[in-house]
Amino acid sequence: MVCNRDGKAVYAFELDAAHEDEDEAALDATEKHRVLKTAGIRLIRLRGALDNYPPPEILRMRLQAAQRTPV
């Protein structure tokens, strides 16, 4: 989770992973997305290998830019 300066959660991160039961995983993902959206929290899925993720400073800049853009 990433919170704003007031402590309100703004973003949630999810790392994609393999699941034994893909149907159950899809239902879980749908519920998670619905709950977070209802709470006004944007879900960001990170896919692929950890080596492909942006470095923290780049991710921080992207999040700050996204906060200034209406959702």
Residue 70 has pLDDT above 90, yes or no: no
2 phi and psi, to 5 degrees? -125, 130
pTM equals 0.65
3-50 pLDDT, tens per residue?
A: 888 999 988 888 777 678 888 888 888 898 899 999 999 888 877 777
Whole-number Å distance between alpha carbons of 4 and 29: 24
Q: Which residue has the higher pLDDT, 64 or 67?
A: 64
Let me know: does 43 contact 12? Beta carbons within 8 Å: yes
* Reported confidence tier of residue 56, pLDDT bands at 50, 70, 90: confident
- The pLDDT score that the predictor gives to residue 7 is 92
Element (H, E) at 68: helix 56-68
